[in-house]
Amino acid sequence: MRVAVLSGGRSSEHEISLLSAEAVAEGLEAAGHDVTRILIEKSGTWITDGHPVGIRPGEGLEVDGDLLSLDVVFPVLHGPFGEDGVTQGALDTAGLPYAGSDVLASAVCMDKLTLKRLCGFHGIPQVGFVQAFTPGWKEEALALDFPLWVKPSRLGSSVGISKVTDPGQLEAAVEEAAGFDPRVIIEANSAGREIECSVLGNEDPDASLPGEILTDDEWYDYEAKYTEGRTRIAAPAELDEATTAAVRELAAQVFTMAGCSGLARCDFFVEQIEGSESRVLLNEINTIPGFTRTSVYAKLWEATGMPYPDLCNRLVELALERHQSESQHSF
């Protein structure tokens, strides 16, 4: 098939997107597809081979007045203006099938506050949280289990996150996060292991074997994530059979609850409680996770038995399946 891979974007995760997107493009080519690489510059301009790319509503993407011949688009964009539904809306306007979640699911999962409230409605286990700048937020936050984690609600890659170990640090941490996003979330601490699970599918998704993030750093921040050698991934994680099954089941459940499609990576805390029993808490969902061959999402599918080119190919198939299904509805 003829696949356009979108990379770059306007967010602080632009460079990470470039790495992920090139790996996806090579994986698609290895699977036999014809790939067109489209870069979204930090200014927001879309270009391919040095030429601006435009959107022709209802018809597709165009270059120099000519429509690009495409079967599907594969967005590999992280953060705002790429993972939050904005680009998905542009592709819907163009009438093109695309890999991954639609506008609503992308927006919901990008906003940690909205996702956690949805999870709370459905009874999904998670750590306590408070939205900053709401009535009584300081008192509620100080009642949570320390240390606290203060985060911009709609960013990724641990950008703008602070660990608060003393009540006197709270306001400064909130102000720092607010410099990135006016919506700020304050979360209670979990001493659990950081376990991640990759999900693949549409209405009836499959969940990979879980993996564990192992780092020598104090916490899994931006440097730990993207500096070679600072973080290791145990794939699969050393979990007992019951906990492994619980993580996979909850990942598929959350994926469906949030309305995701195509792919997502679900991040959990696994806490040890009395005896040998474990408790699994949802941390967050990433609808376009890091996607290099060595990223967690792909490594977990490889550990589950799906090679990287097959994974890329399956996501293109899922994109077409969802587009064909939605095209049957009358709006």
Last residue of some domain: 171, 187, 203? 187
Residue of 11, 153, 157, 162 with catalytic role:
157
Nearest-angstrom CA–CA distance, 148 and 180: 18
Q: Give domain status of residue 307, yes or no.
A: yes
What is the C-alpha separation between 253 and 163, in angstroms, rounded?
29
Residue 152 maps to a domain: yes
Say whether 13 is catalytic: yes
Active site residue 286: yes
Q: Which of 137-146, 159-168, 194-203, 211-220 has the lowest mean pLDDT?
A: 211-220
Distance separating alpha carbons of residues 182 and 111, to the nearest angstrom: 12
To the question of pTM greater than 0.95 for the whole model, the response is no
Task: Count the domains in the chain.
Answer: 3
The backbone torsions φ and ψ at residue 176, rounded to the nearest 5 degrees and listed phi first, read -65, -45
Q: DSSP assignment of 37-67, as one string?
A: EEEE-TTS-EEETTEEEEEETTTEEEETTEE
> Any idea what the CATH number is for the domain that residue 302 is in?
3.30.470.20
308 tagged catalytic: no
Assess if residue 36 is contained within a domain: yes
pLDDT value of position 222:
53
Q: Which two tokens stand for residue 123?
A: 């009874």
Residues 232 and 288 grouped into a single domain: yes
Contact 151, 174 (CB under 8 A): no
Give whole-number Cα distances, 274 to 128, 153, 209, 278, 283, in Å.
20, 33, 25, 8, 22
The 10s digit of each residue's pLDDT in 4-25 is: 999 999 988 899 999 999 999 9
Catalytic residue among 212, 221, 267, 302: 267
**Catalytic choice (265, 278, 295, 322):** 265
The CATH number that applies at residue 29 is 3.40.50.20
Neighbours of 107 (CB within 10 A): 20
Q: Is 157 a catalytic residue?
A: yes
Q: Is the distance from CB of 237 to CB of 201 less than 8 angstroms?
A: no
Quick one: how many helices (H) and strands (E) in the chain? 10, 17
pLDDT digits (tens, 9 = 90+) for 272-281: 887 668 999 9
Mean pLDDT over each residue of the chain, to the nearest integer: 94
| Three-class SS state of 211 | strand
Give per-residue pLDDT as tens, 84-106.
999 999 999 999 999 999 999 99
Among 34-43, 246-255, 259-268, 286-295, the range scoring the smallest mean pLDDT is 286-295
Q: Which domain holds residue 143?
A: 128-187
Report pLDDT for 166: 96
> Residue 220 pLDDT > 70, yes or no?
no
Which residue in the list 278, 286, 295, 313 is annotated as catalytic? Answer: 286
Please report, for residues 45, 182, 188, 252, 312, the alpha-carbon distance to residue 262 in angstroms, rounded to integers and kept in the order given.
26, 30, 31, 12, 11
In a domain, 119, yes or no: no
Position 160 scores a pLDDT of 86
Q: Listing from the earlier edge strand, what are the strands of the sheet with 148-152?
A: 129-131, 184-187, 148-152, 162-164
Known catalytic residue at 230: no
Per residue in 183-193, pLDDT tens?
A: 999 999 999 99
Burial class (CB in 10 A: 0-12, 13-18, 19+), 104: middle
Among all chains, which residue has been given the structure tokens 């993407």? 61
Is residue 140 domain-shared with residue 70, that is, in the same domain? no
Long-range contacts of 239-246 (CB under 8 A, 24+ apart): 239/195, 239/210, 239/212, 239/270, 239/278, 240/276, 240/278, 242/278, 243/270, 243/278, 243/280, 244/209, 244/210, 246/278, 246/280
Q: Which residue of the set 83, 181, 212, 284 is catalytic? A: 284
Q: Establish if 105 belongs to a structural domain.
A: no
Residue 53 has pLDDT above 70, yes or no: yes
315 and 210: one domain? yes
Residues 197 and 279 in one domain: yes
Q: How far apart are CA 255 and CA 123, in angstroms?
A: 14
The one catalytic residue among 7, 9, 12, 13: 13
Specify if 134 maps to a domain: yes
Share of the chain above pLDDT 70, in %: 95
Q: Is residue 291 part of a domain?
A: yes
284 noted as active-site residue? yes
The reply to whether 54 falls in a domain is yes
CATH code: domain of residue 147:
3.30.1490.20
User: Domain boundary at 137, 162, 187, which?
Assistant: 187
